[in-house]
Amino acid sequence: MASVLATPGRPLRVAIVGAGPSGFYTAAALLARKDLAVSIDLIDRLPSPYGLVRYGVAPDHPKIKEVARVFERLALDPRVRYLGNVEYGRDLGLDDLRRHYDQVVFAVGGQSDRRLGVPGEDLAGSHSSTAFVAWYSRHPDFLDLPVDLSTAASAVVGIGNVAVDVARVLARDPEELARTDISDDALAVLRASGVRDVHVLSRRGPVQAKCSPAELKELADLSGVDLIVDPAELELDEGSRAELAGDLQAQKNLDLLRACAARGATGAPRRIHLRFLVSPVALEGVGGRVSAVRI
């Protein structure tokens, strides 16, 4: 007599490919079902789980990483196994998964960046945010990323939360970062950094800035750092004024930017320059390495 699926005698066998947040939340949803008996394998190509929580959250944002405690409790559930160092497409394929599991969930997330599409993008010293964040988070794929911070200035293209994270890590006092879980190798490079000016380049205006007010305020409050904004770049056209109406987050960002513009430079040893309505058209190089950003 055939056993009934999803019962204690024959649990539903589920493979979740990808052990980042989406994979763990999928497992949590299945485990919460009282009408299902399940057996879950979380499969990941990396030796350690948690994905972006481990390798994508800035080291000075420990509260965001606290969700890993929830994931750890899920991983300790006897109905769950973690299979690390197992890569889909190399160690197993779809036929293998179908043969051994009743259901398969792919929760691998995005694996690549959007390119700028400008000349010079592949020069040494030009890095995607994915690579740079993974480098300071000690992702196994980026341990040897050749990060050179010997120059006096760096540029960050974009003004979403990840771009703000990158700018903050570049400008923050390394001794403050030393109290976080940043990788030792990255900390050594940041301690030796010559960067004193970080230019954050936004192709759209201040109303369209995608960073949260909390992230922006954190930049403004950095010790030993001036957040410099050109008041002229905060002038709004008719379209931006219409977009601003009713958008509380955009209004908070704009108010903070205006306050920073009014405050101006205070003589801090490091500076973050927020630029709006500027687009990189080329990265210029000397000796195969980025030397300037043409906007």
* Confidence band, pLDDT 50/70/90 cuts, at residue 6: confident
CA 135 to CA 142: how far, in whole Å?
5
pTM across the whole model: 0.91
pLDDT in tens, 137-191: 999 999 999 999 999 999 999 999 999 999 999 999 999 999 999 999 999 999 9
Boundaries of every domain in the chain: 12-106, 129-294
DSSP 266: -
Closest CA to 12 of 103, 78, 81, 82: 103
Residue 3: which pLDDT band, with cuts at 50, 70 and 90? low
Here the tokens at position 242 are 């219409």
CATH match for 12-106 among 3.40.50.300, 2.40.30.110, 3.30.465.10, 3.40.50.720: 3.40.50.720
Closest CA to 193 of 174, 166, 210: 174
CATH superfamily of 129-294: FAD/NAD(P)-binding domain (3.50.50.60)
The burial class, CB within 10 Å (0-12 / 13-18 / 19+), for 115 is: exposed
